[in-house]
Amino acid sequence: MSNNQLTYHIDLVLCIDCTGSMRGTLQSVKDAALEFHHMFTARMGEKGKIITGMRVRVVAFRDIFADDPAFEVSEFIDVQHDAEQFKTFVSGLKAKGGGGDGPESALEALSISLNSSWSSDADRLRHVVVMWTDALPHPLERGAEQHAQSQFSSHIASDLNQLTDWWNDRQNKRIRHDAKRLVIFAPEKGAWIDIAENWDNCVYLPSVAGKGLREFEFDQILEILTNSI
């Protein structure tokens, strides 16, 4: 069977730090998110692979200890047919808050992402999570009380060990093991190093804390994903 007879379906979750320190780069991330479908399908077409389905979900996060809302989360949106819905959601994201203490609620965002309603009906599947942040994450166990009050309480891991198990367990029912990919733009320290060293199918591209991801290159994500499918 030739490549163009296969069906390729991509589910992409964009975890976007929307705290105040990201103000300088958030618009670039939003612009890139809105163009991702067109850029990705074009890049795949160059390789003779046709995307037959693509859905995108956004998990925007701030600081669960300081901000309301701490999370702005969309459902999966079919960007081939509902581009305006996706544009409306992404365009509404604003950089604000963050609590001023450095760490943000990125691990909660990853937890929510892993519990997405991933697709399963194609010859070739990719379940992709991309994380953008210029900060370290709060330890998950610190926010137990806040998690219990959140609408996402059942989707948030209790600590980093449990979140690691959710990702690495081949039998888990959250994200398909042979389809999953994780791309992280984050500071090169703390929990991000632990994740980079211990999570499989993970690509880690260090950023500089407090610099607003000025070295961020969206093209790197396209190369990583197109070369893995």
Q: What is the pLDDT of residue 213?
A: 46
The reported pTM is 0.90
Distances, alpha carbon 224 to alpha carbons 42, 58, 152, in Å? 15, 19, 30
Residue 125: strand pairing partners = 9
Is a pLDDT exceeding 60 seen at residue 1?
A: no
Q: Which residue has the higher pLDDT, 16 or 170?
A: 16
Per-residue pLDDT, averaged over 186-201, amounts to 94
Angle, vertex CA 191, rays to CA 185 and CA 193, nearest 5:
65
| Alpha helix segments (H runs only) across the chain | 23-46, 83-91, 106-114, 144-149, 160-168, 191-198, 218-226
Question: Mind listing the domains of the chain with CATH numbers?
Answer: 3-226 (3.40.50.410)
Confidence of residue 212 (pLDDT cuts 50, 70, 90): very low
Per-residue pLDDT, averaged over 50-69, amounts to 92
Is a pLDDT exceeding 50 seen at residue 2?
A: no
Return contacts of 174-179, CB within 8 angstroms, 24+ apart: 174/114, 174/115, 175/114, 175/116, 175/118, 175/127, 176/118, 176/120, 176/125, 176/127, 178/125, 179/118, 179/125, 179/126, 179/127
Single-letter amino acid code for the residue at 61: F
Written in H, E and C, the secondary structure of 149-167 is HCCCHHHCCCCHHHHHHHH
The pLDDT tens digits for 85-138 are: 988 999 899 989 875 558 999 999 999 999 999 998 888 888 999 998 889 999
Angle, vertex CA 184, rays to CA 180 and CA 190, nearest 5:
120
Mean pLDDT of the chain: 86
Task: Give the count of beta carbons closer than 10 Å to the beta carbon of residue 58.
Answer: 23
74-83, 102-111, 189-198: which range is least confident on average?
A: 74-83
Is a pLDDT exceeding 80 seen at residue 229?
A: no
